Chain A
Amino acid sequence: MRSLANVCLSRVAALLSLCLLSNLTSWSLLLKPTVFLRYFCVAYGAVQFHLKVDVQKKNNATNAGAVSGRPVRGWKISSFVKGFLFFLLSILSFHIIAVLYGAPLQEDTEETFSWALLMATLTALPCWCMLGSRLETWVAVVLNRPESENESFLQTTVLCTVVGAWLGAFPIPLDWDRPWQVWPIPCSIGALLGHTVGLVLSAIQSKRHRLDTKSKMV
Chain B
Amino acid sequence: MPRIKGLTTGSIPGFVDIALNLDSKALVEDNVITQMYRAGRRIVFYGDDTWLKLFPEHFVRHDGTTSFFVTDYTEVDQNVTRHVVPELSRPDWDVMILHYLGLDHIGHLAGPTSSLIGLKLQEMDTMVETIHSTVVEQDSERALPTLLVLCGDHGMSNAGSHGGASAPETLTTLLFLSSLFSEGKGSSHVTSPVYQTGLAPTLALTFGVPVPQNSLGQVMTPVLARSSSRDQLQAVQINAYQLVRVLQANVPGYNREAGYQLYQQAVKMHSGWLKALVTGETAANLETLGQRVTQQYRRAMEKIVDRVSASLSEYDMHAMAVGIALLVQVSSILIAASGKFVAEVVPGTDSWMVYIPSPILLLSSFFLVLSAQVSVCTSATGWASAELCSGKAGWFMSFAAVTFTSVCVSLTIQSLFLTNWRTLLSAAAYGLHMCCSLPWETMFLLMGVGLHTVSLGSSSLVEEEHQTWYFLQTTLFLLLMCSTLQALPSTTRLRHSLEQDTDVDKESDIYKQRISLLEGEQKYDHRKEKTDKESSQAEEKVQSECGLSTREDCVLDQGFVRKMVAVLALLVTSRLLRSWNQTGIVSADRPDIGDWFVRPENKMYLSLLVAASFFTTFLLRWRSCSFSSSFLLGVGLIGVYHYRGKTGVLAAPWVLHTDKGILEARLVYLVIIIQLCWTCVELFKTWCQHLQTVKDDENLAGNRLRDHVPKNNLPTTQSFYKEKENLKDARKIFVDGLLTTFVLSEALLLRPHNATVLAVTVFQQYVLHELVLPWTTLYHSVPLLALVHVWMGQAAFYFQGNSNSIATIDISAGYVGMEDYVQEIAGTLTCLSTYAGPLLWFTSLLVLITKKYPRPYPAMLQACFAIIITRTLPVTGYTVITTLQRYHLFVWSVFSPKLLYEGMLTAVTASVVVLMLCLGVPLHMIGATLDLTHARR
Contact = CB atoms under 8 A, between A and B. Distances in A.
Contact of B460 (A97, A143, A169, A174): A174
A67 B500 CA distance: 11
Main SS at interface, chain B: helix
B482 interface: yes
Contact of A137 (B467, B475, B494, B571): B494
A66 B500 CA distance: 8
For A66, A105, A140, the residue with the greatest tally of chain B CB atoms inside 10 Å of its CB is A140
A166 interface: yes
A147 B501 CA distance: 11
Contact of B503 (A101, A147, A174): A147
Contact of A144 (B467, B474, B491, B497): B491
Given A100-B572, A100-B575, A143-B482, A173 B498 contact: no
B544 interface: no
Interface residues of B, number: 34
B791 to A, nearest CB: 15
B461 A174 contact: yes
A76 to B, nearest CB: 20
A63 B499 CA distance: 8
Interface in A99-143: 99-102, 105, 136-137, 139-140, 143
B871 interface: no
B485 to A, nearest CB: 5
Nearest to A166: B475
Given A144-B486, A174-B458, A137 B498 contact: yes
Interface string B885-916: 00000000000000000000000000000000
B474 A139 contact: no
B567 to A, nearest CB: 11
A183 to B, nearest CB: 12
A136 B458 contact: no
A136 B460 contact: no
A140 B572 CA distance: 25
B248 interface: no
B615 to A, nearest CB: 26
A140 B467 contact: no
B488 interface: yes
B461 A102 contact: no
A101 B469 CA distance: 11
B460 A175 contact: yes
B506 to A, nearest CB: 7
A137 B500 CA distance: 15
Interface string A167-207: 00100111100000000000000000000000000000000
Interface in B481-523: 482, 485-486, 488, 490-492, 494-495, 497-500, 503, 506
Interface string B455-470: 0001111011001001
A102 B586 contact: no
A214 interface: no
A97 B478 contact: yes
Given A99-B575, A100-B575, A173-B460, A66 B474 contact: no
B578 interface: yes
Contacts of A173: 460-461, 464, 467, 586
B497 A136 contact: no
Contacts of B458: 174
B471 interface: yes
Contacts of A99: 575
Nearest to B497: A66
A102 B467 contact: yes
Given A66-B497, A66-B498, A140 B575 contact: no
A110 B491 CA distance: 34
Interface in B405-442: none
Contact of A140 (B464, B474, B494, B500): B494
Contact of A100 (B474, B486, B490, B495): B474
A145 interface: yes
B491 A140 contact: yes
B809 to A, nearest CB: 22
Contacts of A169: 471
A175 B459 contact: yes
Contacts of B586: 173, 175
Given A66-B498, A102-B470, A143 B485 contact: yes
Given A166-B475, A173-B461, A102 B488 contact: no
For B463, B486, B491, the residue with the greatest tally of chain A CB atoms inside 10 Å of its CB is B491
Nearest to B460: A175
A147 B491 contact: no
For B458, B463, B492, B498, the residue with the greatest tally of chain A CB atoms inside 10 Å of its CB is B498
B491 A136 contact: yes
Nearest to B440: A143
A147 B499 contact: yes
A102 B498 contact: no
B459 A145 contact: no
Contact of B506 (A101, A136, A143, A145): A145
Interface in B545-575: 571-572, 574-575
B910 to A, nearest CB: 30
Contacts of B467: 102, 172-173
Contacts of B579: 105
Given A101-B474, A173-B467, A136 B459 contact: no
Closest 6 CB pairs of A and B: A140-B491, A175-B460, A173-B464, A143-B486, A174-B460, A173-B467
30 contacts: A66-B498, A97-B478, A99-B575, A100-B478, A101-B470, A101-B471, A102-B467, A102-B474, A102-B578, A105-B579, A136-B488, A136-B491, A136-B494, A137-B491, A137-B498, A139-B485, A139-B488, A140-B494, A140-B498, A144-B492, A145-B506, A147-B495, A147-B499, A147-B503, A166-B475, A173-B464, A173-B467, A173-B586, A174-B461, A175-B463
Given A63-B498, A102-B474, 14 more contacts: A67-B498, A100-B474, A100-B572, A100-B574, A101-B471, A101-B474, A102-B467, A136-B488, A136-B494, A137-B494, A140-B498, A173-B464, A175-B459, A175-B460
